[in-house]
Amino acid sequence: MQHKIKKYLFDIKTSIESIYDYLGDKRDFCQYQNDKKLRRAVERELEIIGEAANRILQIDKDFPLENARKIVDLRNWVIHGYDKVDDVIIWGIISNHLPILKKQIEELKMKSLNEITIGIANDHAGVEMKFFLMEQLKNKVKNIINFGANINESVDYPDFAHPLSIAVEKGECDFGIAICGTGNGITMTVNKHQGIRAALCWEPEIAKLAREHNNANIVGIPARFISNEKALEIVKTFLTTDFAGGRHTLRIKKMNIF
């Protein structure tokens, strides 16, 4: 998948999430209809979604984004037919179509993982979780390199963390997964390497922000505190979220000043 297309998919997904944030958990139609600022904010995000879809089609007219042309038409309707926007139709799009679109983008991002190599390191506390993740990811990524312990006998996590970090720094692995009991020790160790930005994550939202805001390249996971299924959700989110750039770029450069 081309980098620009990935960027536009990221923009669409971000705008969908922004709409959900604006509306809150209740998503009350009457509140929406009576709040002009809220309506305008939602309409602006729909414009972004439509424009991003339009740019994707300009790059690849056959790109498999379902109803892409209708999304572009929606953008044109909101912009050029601003005086004829129907709140009921907009609400139907928010309720029925955006969740499907978001899920489709996540699936497209997962398909793009077949282009990447990931490394995984763990100590004795992360053996079971490591093999679970490898099994779940083996048909989704290009390659998985196992740097971790393979038996449950007590070992020292730095012995496995350093080889993973070196591989990510050298570009032999695009991303890394680091697992120990709490996730703390192995994450601290990989972060000793200048080219590593590792984030300890116990929720998918933290993994998402670690990629978007911090351009993290290794995800640390606390094997004794979350389930295998939660770990897989975290890893999928981490691998399919792009760095947002912008104001975050300078902040990341400042990390290595000292």
Structure tokens at 178: 């680091």
Determine the Cα–Cα distance for residues 191 and 199; give it in Å rounded to an integer. Answer: 9
Give, in order, the Cα–Cα distances in Å from 241 to each of 39, 173, 200, 206, 216.
Answer: 28, 17, 16, 11, 10
Question: Among this protein's residues, is 201 annotated catalytic?
Answer: no
Question: Among this protein's residues, is 30 annotated catalytic?
Answer: no
Of how many residues is the chain composed?
Answer: 258
Structure tokens at 143: 């390659």
138 burial level (CB within 10 Å; 0-12, 13-18, 19+):
exposed
Q: Which of 97, 162, 193, 213 is catalytic?
A: 213
Q: Which of 180, 193, 201, 248 is catalytic?
A: 180
Residue located via tokens 């998948």: 1
Q: Which residues are catalytic?
A: 180, 213
